[in-house]
Amino acid sequence: MYEPLLFVLVVVLLQTLIASSLPCLPDQAAALLQLKRSFSATTASATAFRSWRAGTDCCRWSGVRCDDGGGGGRVTSLDLGGRRLQSGGLDTAVFSLTSLRYLNLGGNDFNASQLPATGFEMLSELTHLNISPPSFAGQIPAGIGNLTNLVSLDLSSSIYIVNQGDDDVSIMSNLYAPWGFSRVNFERLIANLGNLRELYLGLVYMSNGGEGWCNALANSTPKIQVLSLPLCEISGLICQSLFSLRSLSVVDLQGNDLSGAIPEFFADLSSLSVLQLSRNKFEGLFPQRIFHNRKLTAIDISYNYEVYGDLPNFPHDSSLIKLHVSGTKFSGYIPSSISNLTGLKELGLSANDFPTELPSSLGMLKSLNLFEVSGLGLVGSMPAWITNLTSLTDLQFSHCGLSGSLPSSIGNLKNLRRLSLFKSNFTGNIPLQIFNLTQLHSLHLPLNNFVGTVELTSFWRLPYLSHLDLSNNKLSVVDGLVNDSAVSSPKVKFLRLASCSISKFPNALRHQDNIYFLDLSNNQMHGAIPPWAWETWKELFFLDLSNNKFTSLGHDTLLPLYTRYINLSYNMFEGPIPIPEESTDSQLDYSNNRFSSMPFDLIPYLAGTLSLKVSMNNVSGEVPSTFCTVKSLQILDLSYNILNGSIPSCLMENSSALKILNLRGNQLRGELPHNIKEDCAFEALDVSYNWIEGTLPKSLVACKNLVILDFGSNQIGGPFPCWMHLLPKLQVLVLKSNKFYGQLGPTLIKDDDCELQHLRILDLASNNFSGVLPDEWFRKLKSMISVSSNETLVMKDGDMYSTFNHITYLFTTRVTYKGLDLTFTKILKILVLIDVSNNRFHGSIPETIATLSMLSSLNMSHNALTGPIPNQLASLHQLESLDLSSNKLSGEIPQKIASLDFLSTLNLSNNMLEGRIPESPHFSSFPNSSFIQNAGLCGPPLSKECNDKSTSDVVSHPSKKKSVDIMLFLFVGLGFGVGFAIAVVVTWKPCIGK
């Protein structure tokens, strides 16, 4: 009875052997050979395709596998991953391999080409697709979303952290070129991928990054196990429906804009092993129950600054291998039971409220490879037990209260590859024992109080050193003994020596030809940049030489660089502005120098430039119309030069990419272009302080993203531009010192004809406006009534990306504030200003202005206003400056105005006011010039005594609030992902004469 069964088994076995031994079909081989020919002939391709020879069995070629059943000879697996192949684009021959189940094209160079729009839908049997890291650009083909059998999809860019810290981080792609997919419709991509188990989309920017991503996952991918969406620009809350994905084992959502509370349901996902939520905007109490999920091996919630909680008691059988809570508001004691985590490899702690030094029980975690601590609550010196952690490869103390000198025992940590001690209070000399750490790759010691003279070449004794940062200490860095040979030097890639008292360009860098990131800003280097620097650093992607005393480039205007970022600002360079030979996604800053001309013939080399800043120079001539050919340009700042002629019409009319155009403070004439296209991308347009004539172009209504319009100090005329109510994001409108006329607001009363709801700054000073100030119109300035809690504090553009970082452009404006002509280099959203001075308004001051509770400055001086000062102005508790001078106001000064705590500038002079000046500690601080030329006023600070000797009410101040001047706010800028600190809010500029 067993013989028939045995016979069947033998037949099946023979069929399998025959099928598996069948050579690949001719059409399959032909498709593969065509694909091979699409790659350039290089050493890498010669190695990868050595076995790919016509006439041989393609099923035996390297990276190729065929099916083991059915018809046989059909390719089911193609693995070209990581071969470093080069091609101008993916050949469509790959779509002839319709039996493919596994396809890996990642780690090759497809020259930023786009994937074919059609073809992927033909690979209907595909279960695994890997194009990571991608060297493609543009959109993800819709056909990928139709591969219903996909189990694993990887389109992510590989990333690594150049310098990790609380706010000092640069996340970079492994690939130098700005490749990768962007603006992906996530919901559409995964709608049909119901079998998906693994999804990797790191650095794929989503066009619909709100909460929709979360519900789409729950609805479309019920079997998902690995969810990896780091740096995808997703935002909003983590939806409750994510809890329905019970198979989740890995959740990686780091580096996004997610907010709200971290859901407690992560504690109940029984398969969850990795929870990576770092660098988001989560807030609130972290559910401690999540720590008790025994399956979890990695928890990372670091650098969510508003998340708080405390650490639990850890059991002996915990599975934790990685635990990161640094950069949060975690507080309380570190439990001694943390020593139970014997398998812990990585530990990041936040010490915001720890009352003493770190406990010695941490010294028992002998398996630790990485140890990071942040938080000002940490005090004392570096713990002695640190040197017991001999397995450490990464050690970081940041933004904490540790002080004292580094112990010489630091040299005992022989396995250290990264040592980061920054934003702390370490003092003394850098110990020589640090040079015993011969495995060091990264040494970051910025923003401490280290002292002494340091020889740069002494660090060349560390053979593997690739990242070095000594910035912003009290160090003096000198060359040291320079070896003319490069043989003994490490290959340094990342070097920051900002504020290191360097007096001459370091000759020690002469043989460092691998540097791609160099910051020598804020030193005292002078003269010319040595010519060898330009010849040595062909691929110097980031160069910052700002705030030195250089006078010469030491090279021709065309710089031999393939670069992303050059900052030469605040030096004394002369001649034509330099332009890199090749640039992609680059930012160029040449502001505050003595450059005198624009090299017209070199502007085509700016083809890949995102940002060009040449403000505060001596550039003359006309604005080159060739800028219009730079299709990538998003920021062009030519302000404060001596440019003449008219504005090239194409700069404004064809602005589909240009977001920021700043031509302030030149000698431009003519009229503004009037035919602005519908795809206008402007966010800020500033042509103030020129000689522009004519009228405002109504076609500006096409620029729906406009935030700032500054036409101040020109010769522009016309009535008030009510049509600007069609600009839904307009926050700053400056029309001062022009020839505008007529009444403010609509000529006919309509509900929505002239509502500028989002305005925060309105400057109409020094025009010919007339009539009464419309009462109802002011009531509709709704953004002057309150500031939304979820808005950023500083007005900025926030949608520019480059290889190195997410960059922002801080909007600026120049207005009269507290009687001074000031340029605000950061416009705080709490700066709310109305200036209608120097016009011909008459009638009374509208009482509705008192509803604008966020108002910080109000100037109605030099008009013909009559009637009393409204009592209601006393409700403007944020008011810092009030100027009603040179009008015809009458009556008494309202007593309640004396209770405005923040009021620091007041001018009521040259009116017809009368009665006693309110008595208060606040009012007594104002000079008599605030009240002169009012014949009927009496009492201090005026010398005129009041006839009525009765004591008036003295306004009390129940609040002891200290007056806060908005000019004194300090800010730390994250504009460049490497943590540049900016503490300047207001710069003082001389008035530019006409």
Give the pLDDT confidence of 173-203 residue by residue, as tens digits. Answer: 333 344 567 778 899 999 999 999 999 998 8
In the block, tokens 């559910």 appear at: 287
| Pairwise pLDDT comparison (956 vs 607), residue with the higher score | 607
Of residues 752 and 185, more confidently modeled: 185
Determine what percent of the chain is predicted with pLDDT higher than 90: 59
In this prediction, residue 601 carries a pLDDT of 84
CB atoms within 10 A of CB 601: 11
* pLDDT at res. 608: 84
Confidence of residue 206 (pLDDT cuts 50, 70, 90): confident
Question: Could you report how far apart the first and last alpha carbons of the chain are, in Å?
Answer: 111
pLDDT recorded at residue 499: 97
CA distance 176 to 235: 27
- Rounded Cα distance, 753 and 439, in Å: 69
pLDDT at residue 956, as a whole number: 45
AA letter at 18: I
pLDDT at 473: 95
Task: For residue 187, give the 3-state DSSP assignment.
Answer: helix
Tell me which of 157 and 227 has the higher pLDDT: 227
Structure tokens at 955: 């306004």
122, 128, 149, 683 from 191: Cα distances, Å: 18, 17, 13, 34
Predicted TM-score (pTM) of this structure: 0.81
% of the chain at pLDDT higher than 70:
84
Q: Of the ranges 126-140, 269-283, 749-763, which one carries the lowest mean pLDDT score? A: 749-763
Please tell me which residue, 481 or 822, carries the higher pLDDT value: 481
> For residues 380-395, b (16+ Cβ closer than 10 Å) or e, as one string?
eebbeebbbbeebbbb
Peptide linkage before 222 cis (omega within 30 of 0): no
The mean pLDDT of the chain is 85
180-194, 274-288, 460-474: which range is least confident on average? Answer: 180-194
CA 767 distance to own-chain centroid: 39
**What local confidence, expressed as pLDDT, does residue 482 receive?**
76
Q: Does the structure show a pLDDT above 70 at 976?
A: no
Return the CATH superfamily for domain 744-752+773-799+806-945: Ribonuclease Inhibitor (3.80.10.10)
Cis omega (within 30 of 0) for bond into 463: no
SS (H, E, C) 777-790: HHHCCHHHCCCCCC
Q: How confident is the model at residue 539 (pLDDT cuts 50, 70, 90)?
A: confident
Q: Any long-range contacts for 412-417 (C-beta under 8 Å, 24+ apart)?
A: 412/387, 412/436, 413/386, 413/387, 413/389, 413/437, 414/390, 414/438, 414/439, 415/390, 415/391, 415/439, 416/392, 416/440, 417/393, 417/441, 417/442, 417/464
The alpha-carbon radius of gyration of the chain (Å, integer) is 33
Region 585-610 average pLDDT = 90
